[in-house]
C-alpha cells in the first residue's frame, strides 16, 4: 500500500516547483558560487509540496483511505528522500564538468563541488529533514513554522561548513588539495547519516503523527 501512497505523492501532492528545484544541480556550473545553496533549493521545493498538500487537504484524504498513519508517514518521508537522492545524483555530472571549466580554477565563494562537498551536503539534507518532518508531523499543518525551524540549523550548518573551508589544514582537506580520494570518509559518513536518518526520522514522525487528532 505504501508504494501507491508514494506514487500519489509524486503525481498528486508534489508542487511543480519541486521538480524544477530537483534539477537545480546545473547551478554547480556557476563559477564561484556557494554550492550548498543548490540543495537548499531542493528543500524549498519540498516545502512547496507540503504546503500544496496542506492547502489541498492531502492528509485528510489519506485519513479516509484504508491506510494507517504510519503508512502516510512512510510515504511522505520516502517522497522527501527520493527527491533529494535524485537531485544529488543528477548534480554529479555537473560537478565533474565544473571542475574542468571553472575560469577561476577554483570556487572563490566556498567549497569545491567535490567528494567532501557531497558528503557534507547529505548531512545538511539529513539535518533539514529531521527538523522539518518531525516538527511538521507534530501538528500536520504548520508547514511554514516547520520550514523556518528547519532553515535555522541548516543555515548554521552551511555557514560552519563554509567557514571550515577557509581554515588552515581543514580548508586544504575540504578543497581536495590532497586529492579527492582522501575525502571518501566524509562521503561515506554523509551517506551513512543520510540513510540512518531516514529510519530514525520515519520512526519519530510516526510517533508524533499518532498523537495528532485530524
pLDDT tens digits for range 152-161: 999 999 999 9
Average pLDDT, the chain: 91
Mean pLDDT of 37-61: 94
> What pTM did the predictor assign?
0.93
Query: Averaged over 139-164, what is the pLDDT?
Result: 94
pLDDT number for residue 103: 57
Tell which wins on pLDDT, 79 or 172.
79
What's the Cα-to-Cα distance from 120 to each of 123, 149, 165, rounded to whole Å? 5, 20, 11
- Asked whether the CA dihedral 4, 9, 13, 17 is positive or negative, the reply is negative
User: What percent of the chain stands above pLDDT 90?
Assistant: 68
pLDDT of residue 128: 97
Q: pLDDT-based confidence at 191, cuts 50/70/90?
A: very high
Q: What is the pLDDT of residue 106?
A: 72
Question: No. of H helices and E strands in the chain?
Answer: 9, 0
Amino acid at each position: 500500500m505504501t508504494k501507491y501512497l508514494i506514487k500519489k505523492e509524486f503525481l498528486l501532492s508534489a508542487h511543480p516547483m519541486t521538480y524544477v528545484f530537483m534539477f537545480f544541480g546545473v547551478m554547480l556550473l556557476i563559477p564561484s558560487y556557494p554550492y550548498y545553496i543548490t540543495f537548499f533549493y531542493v528543500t524549498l521545493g519540498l516545502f512547496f509540496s507540503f504546503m500544496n498538500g496542506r492547502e489541498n487537504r492531502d492528509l485528510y484524504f489519506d485519513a479516509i483511505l484504508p491506510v494507517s498513519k504510519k503508512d502516510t508517514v512512510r510515504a511522505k518521508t520516502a517522497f522527501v528522500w527520493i527527491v533529494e537522492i535524485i537531485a544529488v545524483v543528477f548534480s554529479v555530472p555537473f560537478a565533474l564538468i565544473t571542475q574542468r571549466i571553472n575560469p577561476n580554477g577554483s570556487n572563490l565563494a566556498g567549497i569545491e563541488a567535490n567528494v567532501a562537498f557531497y558528503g557534507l551536503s547529505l548531512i545538511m539534507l539529513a539535518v533539514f529533514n529531521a527538523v522539518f518532518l518531525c516538527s511538521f508531523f507534530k501538528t500536520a499543518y504548520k508547514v511554514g513554522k516547520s520550514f523556518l525551524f528547519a532553515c535555522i540549523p541548516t543555515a548554521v550548518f552551511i555557514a560552519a561548513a563554509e567557514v571550515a573551508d577557509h581554515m588552515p589544514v581543514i580548508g586544504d582537506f575540504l578543497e581536495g588539495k590532497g586529492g579527492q580520494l582522501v575525502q571518501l570518509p566524509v562521503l561515506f559518513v554523509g551517506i551513512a547519516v543520510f540513510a540512518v536518518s531516514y529510519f530514525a526520522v520515519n520512526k519519530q514522525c510516526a510517533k508524533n503523527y499518532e498523537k495528532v487528532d485530524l
